[in-house]
Structure 1
Amino acid sequence: MVATLVKLRFLLLANSLKKKPWQLVAVIIGALYGLGLLVGAVALLFALSFGSIEFARTVTVLAGAALIIGWTILPMLTSGIDQTVDSARLATFPIPLNTLVLSLAISGVLGVPGIVTLIAALATAGTWWKHPAAAIVAVVCAVVGVLTCVIGSRMLVALSSRIGAGRRAREAKGILIFVPLLLLGPIIFGLSQMFRDAPNLFPRIAEIVSWTPFGAIWAVPADVALGNPGRAALEFLIGVATLAALLLLWRWGLARALETPNRPAQSTSRARGLGLFGVFSGTPSGAVAARALTYWIRDPRYAQALIAVPLVPVLIFVYAGGNDNLAALNTVAPIIAVLLSMSIYTDVSYDNTAFALHLQSGVSGRADRTGRVLALAVFAAPISIGLAVASVAVSGTWQILPGLLGITTGVLLTGFGVSSFVSGRFVFAVPAPGESPFTSKPGGGVSLMLSTFATWSMVGILVIPEMVLAIVGFALDIPILGWLSLVVGILLGSGLMVIGIRQGGAILDRRGPDLLAKLQAHR
């Protein structure tokens, strides 16, 4: 039974990739990237063997603890990373609970993240090759540590499944993971400054972490090498006890999830009036705009794009040196304009099979493109322009406002056009309606990243005229060039937007059924 379930996991993954060749390409690219990181990690662990035991102990304990914490917390926040064999789908089969637990644990270890983690953990034996006893112990501790990672991740997901089943919970989880990820740079920058000021802080933290469930198992080989067998034995007991506790909690949570599965909550809300459909005009474009803006308000997959708006100024402020370089804040508006204008190039993909409504109702491609742009422009234009004005007010550089508005407006309008064209031609493997915004299909994350880079590059090339005028005007202090940049940004951007809407609409008229078939295949 265990072998059958593990085999099923790989069959499901292989069939998914066969249906979507581009996702297979993305998986290969992602695997090569992960392989590069793995090689670097293994090389670093072997290099630690040439330093002091205390330094190697500090690095392995802190890195190992971070590994367990990351494995345990991230799947909960992302509604599960590896759900190829979802336990909820196996609830109707007469599989013994212990067999299911063992199968899911093995399939978790044999997944790509599990294999990479296992190889990196086993490489810690290379850190202690000068101490044979410590190297042998490191292999055993690596296996315990990896099992703790995998079982800890599944345990927390199982325990939180009943809490996190609702839409509001998914939105909260999305914010919990997205905000720290965006602020990861400033956090690392601040920590590096703190550690630079206090170089002995790392060993102190490692000493404390080595007695916690997260770091104890990773400290055992170092204490064996240092000749502290009593302490090593206590740390090993803490590590094994942690694994046993996580396993029991996971088994209990899985049993509850299988016996009393979650049921979709029944909505008690009642529609009042026409909502946004009563605000926009009664035209096809107006109807599409009302529908799209409703998604922006209620769908967390769209809302995640807005989280970046208040965080981008924080990132730039920190990286630019704070109050010493306030002029760097002038880049906020163009960056936000890019992010917002590019946010609709996956619009058709986000519609999923509901895109059939557009085809059945006979909405023209041009009306579809126009409505989606109009919905985004309702808030994207005021936000972008407002940030441009606010940035020059804070930095005291009012003289560059026309040029900055030229760049911002050009980027925003051009982005509208490019997004309208791309979303009418391609569909992407994105989270389905109702799923977590951070759920990733096999290879979907990499393919989406590559397409994002391509569309951003396209926008960057098309806005060169207004950017050159504005930058030359800034550098040579020629105000007239800033005003010319504003005129070019408005006129050229508007032209490109119209072209993008028309061409994207024409493509959508021709390829609408093909796009719907691809969306059906992505389900």
Structure 2
Amino acid sequence: MQVIGIAIGLAYGLGTAALAVIGFLALRFADVAFATSVSVTVGSLIVLGFLLVPLAFGTDDTLDPRAFSLLGVPTTRLAAGLALSALIGVPALAIAIVAVAQIFTWTRDPFAAFLALVGAVLIVATCVLGARVTTSVAAFLLATRRAREATGLIALLVIVSFSPVVVLLATVDWARDGLRVLRSVAAVAGWTPLGAVWSAPAEAAAGEPVLALAKLAIALAFLGLLWLGWRALVAWMLVTPQRESRKRAYVGLGWFDRMPGTPAGAIAARSITYWLRDARYHTSLVAVPVAPIVFVVALSVAGVPGNVLALIPVPAMCLFLSWSIHNDVAYDNTAIWLHVASNVSGWADRLGRVVPALLIGVPLVFIGSPIAAALYGDWAVLPSLIGVSSCILLAGLGFSSVISARFPYPSVRPGDSPFNQPQASGTAAGLIQSLSFFAAIIVSMPALAFAALGLFVNPAWHLGSLVAGLLIGLAALVLGIHWGGAIFSRRGPELLAFTLKN
């Protein structure tokens, strides 16, 4: 299987490198300004990828410096040997091919070609040594499960936070403004350690030898800093044992002391503990504050007025918060046997699981709605904001209570990385997610309709939105808890069998 993995990785790496070679060869015949913009932007992203991917997701560091701690090899020699060994691998081969390809782009005059040749060596050395540094940092600092979970969560948050940037880039008229955007990016990246080595031959080709030498100096200085950092890291790891997770001393029963001594209270305490400590729930909650940002950016680009955009975040956050428990049973994995063996009431199970979302959602509605109304500039919309947000939150939790008991699908197992989502057969998982997501919006249509009438016809309709939203939301929540509870009580053995298989 390792040989097969290496073969697949080699195929992907060489395929990607081949595309880059074709691109750099084509840039040889393009205008200098255009070739500079493309090569510097793409090159900077490549270097950034070599630096961040091992740190964000971690890798199996086969040549960990700590494995050589008993051999008595001098630190400098060991650091150099491990750095050279990193040249053997698919990523190093791919970046070497790309680095050689960029030489052909700048064979426009002897000085530019010379800088491109020197730059090729610097590109390979920077990428490989940078990846070597971040790989060792990841292997050393991310040895504990909590550290890996925290880093994975931060990486996911950073990735999701780039969604508004993607939305903005999608709105650019690339046929008209694409070159201007690329030039702006390349102009900044060319003076950073990420893009300086790619920009030096471009400056020479543009007739700017002083700028070319200055950027070459930046690239050399960055490589020197990487080497010093790598040597210091090797020296530190040789005398430092592997990190171990510290055992925490807990006093009392935590949330079990604070919640009522009933089946529903015990399950609520257990669910709150999960939400506070389980990285899988943290990953789901990342979407709650980020999703409204994506909506607001997309709608602002479409020309929606700023005061109208203020009405979107609170209902959107309530929607994603209520949707986050639609597969809660699958998150329990085999621990669901506790509920089945104790013959806990189905409605108690359903009620306990919605408590964490209510503890977050209710303050969100009553704190966020006044802020949104103030940003909108008219306090008359406050009843509609509370009504619509409450309806979406409560109705969504009601539907999730039913969906998680009737249609669970495979999810990340306890202790696994949040990125290790198992494959679900067929299209069932996608349909279940879509159903649980849009059902709350459909049920909330009366409250939304009254809110629209309040905005465009008569402000008196805002009170109707508040009343309708609260009544419909509470009814949907109560019905969902009882209906989902009946399903849970009836399908307990099937749910246990499902978690055992998945």
Q: TM-score, normalised by structure 1?
A: 0.68
Are the counterparts in 1 of residues 265 and 352 from structure 2 also a CA contact under 8 Å? yes
2:495 alignment partner in structure 1: 511
Q: Which structure would you say has the larger Rg?
A: 2
2:397 aligned with 1:416:
yes
Find the partner of 2:324 among 343, 357, 360: 343
Query: Which whole-Å CA distance do the structure 2 matches of 1:247 and 1:7 have between them?
Result: 31
| Letter of the structure 1 residue corresponding to residue 445 of structure 2 | M
2:256 aligned with 1:281:
no
Shift of residue 53, structure 1, vs aligned partner = 0.4
| Letter of the structure 1 residue corresponding to residue 474 of structure 2 | I
More deviation, 129-138/364-373: 129-138
2:52 aligned with 1:73:
yes
Are the counterparts in 1 of residues 153 and 279 from structure 2 also a CA contact under 8 Å? no
1:158 partner SS: helix
2:91 aligned with 1:109:
yes
Find the partner of 2:3 among 7, 16, 38: 7
| Letter of the structure 2 residue corresponding to residue 68 of structure 1 | V
Shift of residue 291, structure 1, vs aligned partner = 1.3
2:369 aligned with 1:394:
no
Are the counterparts in 2 of residues 422 and 504 from structure 1 also a CA contact under 8 Å? no
2:314 aligned with 1:333:
yes
Q: Relative to structure 1, is the Cα distance of residues 212 and 105 closer, same or farther in structure 2, using a 3 angstrom cutoff? A: same
Q: Relative to structure 1, is the Cα distance of residues 325 and 206 closer, same or farther in structure 2, using a 3 angstrom cutoff? A: closer
2:246 partner SS: coil
Find the partner of 2:36 among 51, 57, 66: 57
Q: Relative to structure 1, is the Cα distance of residues 171 and 422 closer, same or farther in structure 2, using a 3 angstrom cutoff? A: same
Are the counterparts in 2 of residues 296 and 303 from structure 1 also a CA contact under 8 Å? yes
2:246 alignment partner in structure 1: 266
Matches within 5 A, 1:293-372: 293-306=272-285, 325-351=306-332, 357-358=338-339, 363=344, 367-372=348-353
Query: Which whole-Å CA distance do the structure 1 matches of 2:373 and 2:414 have between them?
Result: 40
1:219 alignment partner in structure 2: 199
Q: How many pairs were matched up?
A: 477
2:133 partner SS: helix
Query: Which whole-Å CA distance do the structure 2 matches of 1:161 and 1:452 have between them?
Result: 35
1:330 partner SS: coil
> Any stretches of 5+ residues in structure 1 without a counterpart?
14-30, 519-523
Are the counterparts in 2 of residues 124 and 138 from structure 1 also a CA contact under 8 Å? yes
Q: Relative to structure 1, is the Cα distance of residues 205 and 464 closer, same or farther in structure 2, using a 3 angstrom cutoff? A: closer
2:127 alignment partner in structure 1: 149
More deviation, 422-431/85-94: 85-94
More deviation, 451-460/406-415: 451-460
Shift of residue 332, structure 1, vs aligned partner = 1.6
Matches within 5 A, 1:245-260: 246=226, 249-250=229-230, 253=233, 257=237, 260=240
Over the matched positions of the two proteins, sequence identity in percent amounts to: 31
Q: Deviations over 1:157-186 (max 9, x none)?
A: 413654455677567646754554454356
Shift of residue 367, structure 1, vs aligned partner = 4.1
Query: Which whole-Å CA distance do the structure 1 matches of 2:352 and 2:17 have between them?
Result: 46
2:445 aligned with 1:463:
no
| Letter of the structure 1 residue corresponding to residue 412 of structure 2 | V
1:149 partner SS: helix
CA RMSD in angstroms comes to 5.4
Q: TM-score, normalised by structure 2?
A: 0.70
Shift of residue 477, structure 1, vs aligned partner = 2.7
More deviation, 43-52/92-101: 92-101
1:380 alignment partner in structure 2: 361
| Letter of the structure 1 residue corresponding to residue 396 of structure 2 | G
Shift of residue 217, structure 1, vs aligned partner = 2.8
Q: Deviations over 1:430-480 (max 9, x none)?
A: 3753x665xx23x65999x99578514543145324325623651563628
Q: Deviations over 1:175-206 (max 9, x none)?
A: 7545544543566899999xx99x99976875
Higher RCO, Cα 8 Å, sep 6+: 1
Q: Relative to structure 1, is the Cα distance of residues 38 and 394 closer, same or farther in structure 2, using a 3 angstrom cutoff? A: farther
| Letter of the structure 2 residue corresponding to residue 109 of structure 1 | P
Are the counterparts in 2 of residues 344 and 419 from structure 1 also a CA contact under 8 Å? yes
> Any stretches of 5+ residues in structure 2 without a counterpart?
none
Query: Which whole-Å CA distance do the structure 1 matches of 2:83 and 2:375 have between them?
Result: 57
Query: Which whole-Å CA distance do the structure 1 matches of 2:195 and 2:344 have between them?
Result: 59
Are the counterparts in 2 of residues 389 and 401 from structure 1 also a CA contact under 8 Å? yes
Query: Which whole-Å CA distance do the structure 2 matches of 1:85 and 1:189 have between them?
Result: 36
Matches within 5 A, 1:156-167: 156-159=134-137, 161-163=139-141, 165=143
Query: Which whole-Å CA distance do the structure 1 matches of 2:139 and 2:366 have between them?
Result: 42
Are the counterparts in 2 of residues 71 and 150 from structure 1 also a CA contact under 8 Å? yes
Query: Which whole-Å CA distance do the structure 2 matches of 1:165 and 1:138 have between them?
Result: 39
